[in-house]
Amino acid sequence: GQVFVTAQALAAAQAAISAAFLLLATETDIGGVVYWSSIVDALDQRSAGVREVFVTTPALNTDTDLPANTIPLFDLSGVSYVLV
């Protein structure tokens, strides 16, 4: 996905997004569902300076059912930050 943010807010946005995904991981039940809207919410940290987000993975409005006994592991290395 892409996160649009000002240069001045980049560090704060990255920290807020990391914290939001950590919280999402801890709040998701083992073997539960990761909702697409929760991913958007975790990226859309407006209070930290995020202006806009585009989520490409998972596909639009696609929820992810976790296998039994599985926890979500979010890899944020694919998030690109676009300075506006």
pLDDT of residue 61: 84
Query: Taking a C-beta distance cutoff of 8 angstroms, is the pair 38, 74 a contact?
Result: no
Asked if 9 and 71 count as a contact pair (C-beta separation under 8 A), the reply is no
Q: What is the pTM of this model?
A: 0.92
pLDDT digits 0-9 by tens, 47-71: 999 999 998 888 888 999 999 999 9
Over range 29-58, report the average pLDDT. Answer: 94
State the average pLDDT over residues 5-18. 97
Per-residue pLDDT at 9 exceeds 90: yes
Q: How far apart, in whole angstroms, are the C-alpha atoms of residue 56 and residue 79? A: 10
Element (H, E) at 38: helix 36-43
